[in-house]
Structure 1
């Protein structure tokens, strides 16, 4: 039953990400916490969610680098 509860919680997180992409950092943290909980319980980690968390991390790091360079909006460069 624990795996099914995690699936529901993660599905809710995915809905939140779709509704509020500007909050992706907070949602990424929530996803990371859920994956850590699953791992602590010995449950298998869904590869697509692990990949998503890694993608979000890389995306946030890229955004931070752009802000440091004064290029917060990549669309403004075009």
Structure 2
């Protein structure tokens, strides 16, 4: 998957999170998996996504 594809998927997850906060934990797990994939492929993870990931991990008591 290209970096642009990952960005689009992350944007979709963020839109879903604001639209249905009841699924935040599931979305957090999917976001965490996407960010880990970016890291595994050597692609850059934007600082704002790193901060969001850390905030969600704190909210849900740890990693997905």
TM-score, normalisation: structure 2: 0.88
Query: What is residue 65 of structure 1 aligned with on the other side?
Result: none
- The runs of 5 or more residues in structure 1 that have no matched partner are 62-78
Runs (5+) with no aligned partner, structure 2: none
Shift of 1:53: 1.0
Runs of 4+ in 1 over 6 A off after TM superposition: none
Query: Whole-Å Cα distance in 1 between the matches of residues 49 and 23 of structure 2?
Result: 17
1:12 aligns with 2:8: no
Relative contact order higher in (CA < 8 Å, ≥ 6 apart):
2
CA distance in 2, matches of 1:40, 1:57: 19
Task: Give the alignment of 1:27-38 within 5 angstroms.
Answer: 27-38=27-38
User: TM-score scaled to structure 1, two decimals?
Assistant: 0.73
